[in-house]
Amino acid sequence: MSLRINSNIASITAQRYLDKTQRQVDSSFKALASGSRLSSPQNDAAGFAISELLRAQVAGLDQSGHNARSAQALIQTAEGGLNEQNNILVRMRELAVNSASDTIGDKERGFVNEEFQLLTNEFDRISKATRFGTKSLLTGSGEDFSFQVGPNKGEDNVIKFKLDANTTASNSGIDGLDISDKGGAVDALGAIDEAVSHVSGVRARLGGVQSRFQYASDNLDVQKQNVEEARSMIADVDVAEETSKLARAQVLQQSGLAVLAQANSFPKTLLRLIE
């Protein structure tokens, strides 16, 4: 075999393999420390690109879910006001039935009517005071609402509805009712029944919209889970596999250091020939 002094090929080869092993050790440490096998795009350029697209989609799905739940909160706010208005109508009807009976006199009807008028005012106040942020919900604003409930562009990712709920006292037909006499109390019963029907209709429509947002929110949660699972399979580190790679690389590293030490001592052997 040929023996050379200027070039220690064995040492160079050992250094090359040791450098490669060191990169594997560094890569495994980064993957285990970060929890991602794509700590650097060079590890898997295609996988990195796909995982980033999926990560963006997950973020969009997450925000879409927040949008759907915010829409539900808006409708629930309106529903809270409608519920109290319905309770007021029930009490007003009770007072009207009481006033329509001769079991009480005109003086007592005056007292009953006083509560009746206060309840009418409160019914109207609730309608005007029920807001979500700066948006009035029960005054028939007719505002068109649009909620982004998907991560992508397009009408399929948007839910729209018009908020035309108007439950003011005048629109509900109870403004100006008076039950201070029996005839007025009897007439008030019909008007209150129509108002109950009106409020119930508004609640039914809003309930349908709320139900739609609930299904949309549930669907978004499922999509988010599945997309996140797909992204995880591409980007997240398999700890068992990576620790196995690390152990192998560390063994090779130790072996490489031993070989390099032997290769570096090889030129000393040549001195014996010169001597």
> In angstroms, rounded to a whole number, what is the distance separating the alpha carbons of residues 22 and 44?
19
> Using an 8 Å Cβ cutoff, are 56 and 227 in contact?
no
Residue 136's beta-bridge partner residues? 131
> Using an 8 Å Cβ cutoff, are 199 and 96 in contact?
no
**Residue 31 or 194, more confident:** 194
148-196: pLDDT as tens digits? 999 999 999 999 988 889 999 999 999 999 999 999 999 999 999 999 9
Please count the structural domains in the chain: 2
Q: Is residue 54 part of a domain?
A: no
142-158: pLDDT as tens digits? 888 999 999 999 999 99
Mean pLDDT, all residues of the chain: 87
Taking CB atoms within 8 Å and a gap of at least 24, the contacts of 148-154 are: 148/64, 148/67, 149/64, 149/67, 149/68, 149/71, 149/213, 149/216, 149/217, 149/220, 150/60, 150/61, 150/64, 150/220, 151/56, 151/57, 151/59, 151/60, 151/61, 151/63, 151/64, 152/60
Q: Looking at the structure, tell me whether residues 120 and 76 fall in a common domain.
A: yes
Q: Is residue 226 part of a domain?
A: yes
Q: Is residue 197 part of a domain?
A: yes
Q: Looking at the structure, tell me whether residues 229 and 244 fall in a common domain.
A: no
Task: Retrieve residue 243's tokens.
Answer: 């620790």
| Banded pLDDT at 263 (limits 50, 70, 90) | confident
| Banded pLDDT at 16 (limits 50, 70, 90) | confident
Q: What is the pLDDT of residue 74?
A: 93
Q: What is the pLDDT of residue 44?
A: 75
**222, pLDDT greater than 80:** yes
Q: What is the pLDDT of residue 271?
A: 67
Q: What is the pLDDT of residue 15?
A: 78
Q: Looking at the structure, tell me whether residues 203 and 260 fall in a common domain.
A: no
Domain that holds residue 250: 9-35+237-274
Helices (H), 236-265: 239-264
pLDDT above 70 covers what percent of the chain?
Answer: 90
pTM for the whole structure: 0.74
Q: Is residue 82 part of a domain?
A: yes
Q: Looking at the structure, tell me whether residues 133 and 105 fall in a common domain.
A: yes
| Banded pLDDT at 239 (limits 50, 70, 90) | confident
Q: What is the pLDDT of residue 141?
A: 85
Q: Looking at the structure, tell me whether residues 87 and 204 fall in a common domain.
A: yes
Instruction: Give the 3-state secondary structure percentages of the chain, helix then strand then coil, rounded to 5.
Output: 75, 5, 20
